[in-house]
């Protein structure tokens, strides 16, 4: 039997927010260890302005990032063990949060194809 997609039943806003926190944790110099359990602390959350912002090598549409500034989303992600919230300044993304397969990262993190021609 295949593993269940979205086993914690995160809603779309929670999924999009988790994808962004996971992406922040992968940006060089953006995350640091948050303890001995493998969690990564991410801060310097990108400000939401205009219709997009850059997150590492990806572009994110502002409409997909509203959860970064929504305390209820952070509470839900923390309750499900995916982050430890320091809202609104930072989040420690737990190992479970880092490993959670959201299935929406390709729709949220837009990357250009810079292949040489």
pLDDT tens column, 55-103: 989 999 999 999 999 999 999 999 999 999 999 999 999 999 999 999 9
Torsion angles phi and psi, residue 110, rounded to 5? -90, 120
Match 């953006």 to its residue by tokens.
30
CA distance 35 to 95: 11
Within 13 Å, how many C-alpha atoms sit on residue 10's CB side? 30
Number of other residues whose CB lies within 10 A of the CB of residue 53:
17
Calculate the alpha carbon distances from 17 to 67, 75, 81 in Å.
5, 12, 14
Number of other residues whose CB lies within 10 A of the CB of residue 21:
25
Mean pLDDT of the chain: 91
Q: Is the pLDDT of residue 35 over 90?
A: no
CA distance 66 to 13: 8
Confidence of residue 115 (pLDDT cuts 50, 70, 90): very low
pLDDT at 117: 43
Domains located in the chain, CATH noted: 12-108 (1.10.10)
Number of other residues whose CB lies within 10 A of the CB of residue 7:
10
């Amino acid at each position: 039997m295949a593993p269940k997609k979205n086993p914690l039943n995160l809603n779309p806003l929670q999924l999009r927010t988790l994808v962004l926190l996971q992406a922040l944790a992968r940006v060089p110099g953006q995350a640091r260890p948050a303890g001995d359990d493998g969690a990564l602390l991410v801060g310097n959350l990108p400000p939401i302005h205009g219709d997009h912002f850059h997150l590492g090598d990806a572009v994110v549409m502002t409409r997909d990032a509203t959860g970064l500034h929504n305390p209820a989303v952070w509470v839900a992600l923390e309750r499900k063990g995916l982050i430890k919230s320091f809202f609104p300044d930072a989040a420690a993304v737990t190992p479970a949060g880092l490993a959670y397969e959201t299935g929406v990262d390709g729709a949220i993190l837009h990357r250009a194809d810079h292949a040489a021609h």
